Amino acid sequence: MIGKIAPFVKKYKKFAVITPFLVAAEVVLEVLIPLLMAKIVDVGIEQQDLRYVLRTGGFMILMALCSLFCGAAAGRTAAVAATGFACELRKALFDKVQEFAFANLDRFSTASLITRMTTDVTNTQNMAQMMLRILIRAPLMLVCAVCMAAYINARLTRIFLLAAVFLIIGIFLIMRLSYPRFRRMMEQYDGLNSRVQENLTAIRTVKAYVREPHENQAFRDAAEKLCTAQRRAEKLGILAMPMMSLILYSCIVAICWFGGNFIVAGTMKTGELISFISYTSQIMISLIMVAVTMLNLVLSRASAARIIEVLEEEPEMEDPKELSAESKVPDGSVRFDNVSFSYSGDKDRLVLKNVSFSVASGETVGIVGGTGSSKTSLVQLIPRLYDVLEGRVLVGGRDVKEYPLQALRDSVAVVLQKNLLFSGTIEENLKWGNPEASEEEIAEACEAAAAREFIEALPDGYKTDLGQGGVNVSGGQKQRLCIARALLKKPKIIILDDSTSAVDTATDAKIRRALRQRLSGMTTILIAQRLSSVQDADRIIVLEDGQISGIGTHEELLRDNEIYREIYRSQSRIEEVG
């Protein structure tokens, strides 16, 4: 696991390499201090040599200051390496998510990905920092202190070696039992973040339906589940500190008892016992530091595993390995050749079944059908947002899988049902369609989308800040901005997925008239609930349960297709009643 994420520290390698040397210098200096203290007691004080005491004491102070400097420097270099590692890891995760196809994103919830890029990376960053400092300092301190303690009195050394065995066994058992609990705790973080994200995204709906009490209770339930998972995960870790303290103080008591007897027997000096107790404290504290670090590594291991899941997720779609000399889309023709599709990849759960039709370049085609007839699923296959399960989708006479994804999607503009704008100005959002678009081109696109009038009526015009998700504009205005953004791409194919559903009939007609002029030469695919939006199309495709029920003009379908006739009648009755 460490090997899979270690490469992300490469950019900060020099800080990661310097840290162990600084830690080693800190430990060596710290280990020598008790030995000098013993010399002061056994030589300077016993012989009443004040100059020796002052000289050795001054040397001790100098060593302590040097140790302090090395420790502070090691802390800084470890922090730089760990935070840099976390930064690179977050960038790698975000870049990986950008490579995901829709099918990959369907396997990870948005809340889970956010948790992995924030909380999980922070936990892994802490792990990296602990490994650079504590997991180097503590073992090195342990070895050096044991050597010094054995040098002073090898017989007393057996006491803390025996205690260390019990401590290691206890920590190993706690770690083994804690890992699945920490894994479950991180899953509960996903659940809590999912609840918060959903609530904040739909806060207007919550308030409109006065569902605040329900949402508050749902959040409390999610928070309680997380709290329970945290308590269960940390319950075992809580046992570690009392166990360590018991072993530490038991060691000191035993050493004081046996060491005191050695002093009485004349086989050990007072200063040696004092320094031996200091080394014992260093040894046991080192063991405790290792134990605490290992417990934290259990949590970090769970987070690292979740990060690696994302990094190792294979994108469902990739550019073809062998690209032809001409990678651009030549024209806007579209052909579905016996296409079947399933979101799950299961042939028994098809949402499109044996769909075949052709659209000539520059043709306008409408798609209608009842809710759940897979209209959106159909058009998402054209820019290869999903891959077909069987059959082929051809654009410009070639299978979409033969194009580089960027070339294909640059030639296809999609205005989906869910219109999304980003934080920033109207102009910045529109330039998503074409970053190099001039003011004149932007104005023309907005005119075609019937958005220019309301934009120019705003105090700041195209410089108006939309806020997060476009909260400053209505649903209909948001749709028109998304249409204008798509038009700025100047694509060969434009797909409008029920993109005028939030505007009134008059505005819808105005947009359709403008688009007929603006989209001359572009292949246009219109998905609509209102037949008035598609009845002027060159042809209309009627879908039912993922299959084509009929293809023809408005008049032909009224004459030959029962489903289309029923839709037309029902909408006519509604208009008459209205």
The whole-angstrom separation of Cα 348 and Cα 136 is: 56
- For 135-169, the three-class secondary structure string (H helix, E strand, C coil) is HHHHHHHHHHHHHHHHHHCHHHHHHHHHHHHHHHH
Cα distances (angstroms) measured from residue 129 to each of 15, 75, 196, 339: 11, 9, 30, 52
Query: Residue-wise pLDDT tens for the chain (578 aa)?
Result: 677 887 888 888 899 889 989 988 988 888 888 878 777 877 777 777 788 888 888 888 998 899 899 989 998 999 999 999 999 999 999 988 888 877 777 777 777 888 888 888 888 888 888 888 887 888 888 788 778 877 777 777 777 677 777 777 777 777 777 777 777 877 787 778 777 777 776 776 777 767 788 888 888 888 888 888 878 877 766 776 677 777 777 877 887 888 788 887 777 777 777 777 777 777 777 777 777 777 777 767 778 888 888 888 888 777 776 665 567 888 889 999 999 998 887 888 889 999 999 999 888 899 988 888 888 889 989 988 888 989 999 998 889 888 888 888 889 988 877 777 888 888 888 888 888 888 888 888 888 888 888 888 888 888 888 876 666 777 778 888 888 888 888 889 988 887 666 666 777 777 777 777 766 678 889 888 778 778 888 899 999 888 998 999 988 888 888 888 888 888 776 555 44
Helix (H) or strand (E) holding 436: none
The whole-angstrom separation of Cα 340 and Cα 451 is: 38
Instruction: Determine if residue 107 is left, alpha or beta; phi over 0 gives left, psi from -120 to 50 gives alpha, anything else beta.
Output: alpha
8 Å CB contact between 412 and 493 = yes
The strands making up 352-359's β-sheet, listed across from edge to edge, are 352-359, 334-341, 390-395, 398-399
Name the burial class of residue 238, with classes exposed (0-12), middle (13-18) and buried (19+) by CB atoms within 10 angstroms of its CB: exposed
The whole-angstrom separation of Cα 228 and Cα 185 is: 9
The whole-angstrom separation of Cα 402 and Cα 506 is: 42
- Which two structure tokens, joined as six digits, stand for 398? 């070639």
Return the SS3 of 517.
helix
Residue-by-residue DSSP string for 524-543? EEEE-SSGGGTTTSSEEEEE
Closest CA to 156 of 269, 42, 242, 37: 269
For the chain, the straight-line distance linking the first and the last C-alpha, in angstroms and rounded, comes to 65
- Which two structure tokens, joined as six digits, stand for 498? 């029920």
* DSSP 8-state assignment for residue 337: E
Length of the chain: 578
The whole-angstrom separation of Cα 364 and Cα 484 is: 18
8 Å CB contact between 222 and 191 = yes
